[in-house]
């Protein structure tokens, strides 16, 4: 069955430091992969998505993610974190032709001033 694993529940980084959030998926074929961000009390906002093609995808707010089939990973990165990036981040997957999204359990990011 399809699944998504986010191994880090909490991550704390200093403002200006680089960030990498991990995501591993389980699926035989190439899945559709997403990263969403949720600010406190808000809904989810799409940061970026991967369907096919270039394995390095750029998103909003300076985020990028790299699809690595060999590692079944889709890690989210940002070179320099801003205090406003403090939020919860969800990795998700779906498959072409279906309408169901599988979410990871989320990683809560704290940014130190």
Least gap, CB of 50 to other proteins (angstroms): 10
Site string for other proteins, 11-50 (x = CB under 8 A): ---------------------x-x-x----xxxxxx--x-
The half-sphere exposure of 28 on its side-chain side, counting CA atoms within 13 A, is 1
Q: Which of 33, 39, 37, 44 is nearest to 96 (CA)?
A: 33
Number of shown-chain residues binding other proteins (CB under 8 A): 24
105 binds other proteins (CB under 8 A): yes
3-state SS, one letter per residue, for 18-68: CEEECCEEECCCCCEEEEEEECCCCCEEEEEEECCCCCEEECHHHCEEEEE
Q: Which of residues 82-101 bind other proteins (CB under 8 A)?
A: 90, 92, 94, 96, 99-101
- Provide the binding-site residues for other proteins, judged by CB under 8 A: 6, 9, 32, 34, 36, 41-46, 49, 51, 90, 92, 94, 96, 99-101, 103-106
């Amino acid at each position: 069955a399809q699944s998504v694993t986010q191994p880090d529940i909490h991550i704390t980084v200093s403002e200006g430091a680089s960030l990498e959030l991990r995501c591993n998926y389980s699926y035989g074929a190439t899945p559709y992969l997403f990263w969403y961000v949720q600010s406190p009390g808000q809904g989810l906002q799409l940061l970026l998505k991967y369907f096919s093609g270039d394995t390095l995808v750029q998103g909003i707010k300076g985020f990028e993610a790299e699809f690595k089939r060999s590692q079944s990973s889709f890690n989210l990165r940002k070179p320099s974190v801003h205090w406003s990036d403090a939020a919860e981040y969800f990795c998700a997957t779906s498959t072409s032709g279906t309408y169901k999204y599988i979410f990871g359990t989320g990683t809560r990011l704290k940014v130190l001033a």
